[in-house]
Amino acid sequence: MTLSVPKTLPTLLLTCYKNIFPEVRKQLAKWEAFSERIPNDELRAQAKASIGSKTFHCEGGAIYATLAEESWKDAIKFIVAYQTISDYLDNLCDRSTSMDPDDFRRLHDSMLHAISNDSISNDENYYELRDDQDDGGYLQSLVETCQSVVQSIPNYERIYPSIKRLAQLYIDLQVHKHVSLDERVPRLTTWFEKENEHDFILWNEFSAVTGSTIGIFSIVSYGLNGLNYSGQIMKAYFPYMQGLHILLDYYIDQQEDEEEGDLNFCHYYGDEHKTIERLKFFINGSRKSTRGLPDSAFHQLIVSGLVGLYLSDFKADELKSGEEYKKELLRHSGLSAKWIYLNGRAYRKWKKKKGLGE
């Protein structure tokens, strides 16, 4: 069965509910069952929590699988496994007693190995610098699943440099933002000065841009369809689309992060008005940068989708002036974003009723 790339909102929603989301749940059920068998209590708890509370990340990312058309199930297989690695490691680092950057980098070696063209030894120990060790092969299995997909891509070496660049920046971010509190901002600002190539974004925005996986998902999905659009995707998604993605994520998490003592990049704007203005800047930039892409109508829908879906999260309701700013961002983003917001609210209520996770 081949999926067509959605070009209209009704087609996108139909494809998601009929094909994408059921396949995501099927893949996640497999990993959830595996996580139940992890011997170590802490690793098992964090693996289960990352799936239970972050299903939404896999569902959103898997929309890019439509770009793979005939190979859409392989794309979902990769996206779910790679995003599950990301969410699992984020939990391990966020809720860890460790503040060792070497430990964080060693854990995240798995994300580089997952996109590699080379097979990785089964005895690779990503936990070697922490006390909790035995995951029963969980992380290694996720890595191998990703590898099995990317290594099937024709001429993978042509798109690999762009994917590796995005993955390496993502890993650098995870290392810098999880160290001790007093080291985080100095490390991130120094890193920003070294790596940033855009004079129109701030250090906290660069950090947000690097925290997204959607550029990788787009490039891999096109690659599975025999297409190399890595250069165009890099220009359109880095910084605008990836920045919009993660800034919205941090925007709705502000209260939660404050309670947990986690770093939140929207905090560094200083006030809510500045935050909303910069979100509008990234919305505008995403609209403009995706107009020239292949399947531009699809990528434009993703802009609306990011705004609508994130604002449909019930956490957005709890923010100071949340209702007012939500309406302002939805007005700015257009009718499609409003429809996706309403659809997202209904879907979240349905999932909550069915006990299907966030």
Mean predicted confidence (pLDDT) in 69-84: 98
- The predicted pLDDT at position 97 comes to 66
- The predicted pLDDT at position 357 comes to 59
Task: Provide the residue type at 5 as one letter.
Answer: V
Q: What is the pLDDT of residues 38-52, one digit of tens each?
A: 999 999 999 999 998
In the numeric block, which tokens belong to residue 111? 């994300």
* 357, 351 contact by CB (below 8 A): yes
pTM for this entry: 0.94
Q: Give CA–CA dist 149/156, Å, rounded.
A: 10
Most confident residue range from 107-121, 277-291, 342-356? 277-291
- The predicted pLDDT at position 122 comes to 66
For residue 120, name the pLDDT band (cuts at 50, 70, 90): low
- Taking the alpha carbons at both ends of the chain, their separation in whole angstroms is 29
Mean predicted confidence (pLDDT) in 344-348: 86
For residue 214, name the pLDDT band (cuts at 50, 70, 90): very high
Residue located via tokens 């890019």: 64
- The predicted pLDDT at position 220 comes to 98
Judged against a pLDDT cut of 60, whether residue 29 lies above it is answered with yes
User: 3-class SS at 320?
Assistant: coil
For residue 121, name the pLDDT band (cuts at 50, 70, 90): low
For residue 192, name the pLDDT band (cuts at 50, 70, 90): very high
> In 10 A of CB 105, how many CB atoms?
15
* 279, 248 contact by CB (below 8 A): yes
- The predicted pLDDT at position 356 comes to 66
- The predicted pLDDT at position 316 comes to 87
Look up residue 185 and give its DSSP letter.
H
Q: What is the pLDDT of residues 153-162, one digit of tens each?
A: 999 999 999 9
Q: Give CA–CA dist 174/103, Å, rounded.
A: 11
Q: Give CA–CA dist 339/309, Å, rounded.
A: 10
- The predicted pLDDT at position 262 comes to 80
Q: Give CA–CA dist 71/42, Å, rounded.
A: 36
- The predicted pLDDT at position 350 comes to 81
Judged against a pLDDT cut of 90, whether residue 15 lies above it is answered with yes
Judged against a pLDDT cut of 60, whether residue 358 lies above it is answered with no
- The predicted pLDDT at position 301 comes to 96
- The predicted pLDDT at position 349 comes to 84
In the numeric block, which tokens belong to residue 122? 């089964």
Q: Give CA–CA dist 203/198, Å, rounded.
A: 10
Q: Give CA–CA dist 65/71, Å, rounded.
A: 8
Instruction: List, as one string, the DSSP characters of 207-234.
Output: HHHHT--HHHHHHHHHHHTT---HHHHH
Judged against a pLDDT cut of 60, whether residue 4 lies above it is answered with yes
Q: What is the pLDDT of residues 248-262, one digit of tens each?
A: 999 999 988 888 778
Residue located via tokens 């854990």: 107
Mean predicted confidence (pLDDT) in 174-195: 93
- Higher-confidence residue of 358 and 197: namely 197
Judged against a pLDDT cut of 90, whether residue 318 lies above it is answered with no
**Mean of all residue pLDDT scores within the chain:** 93
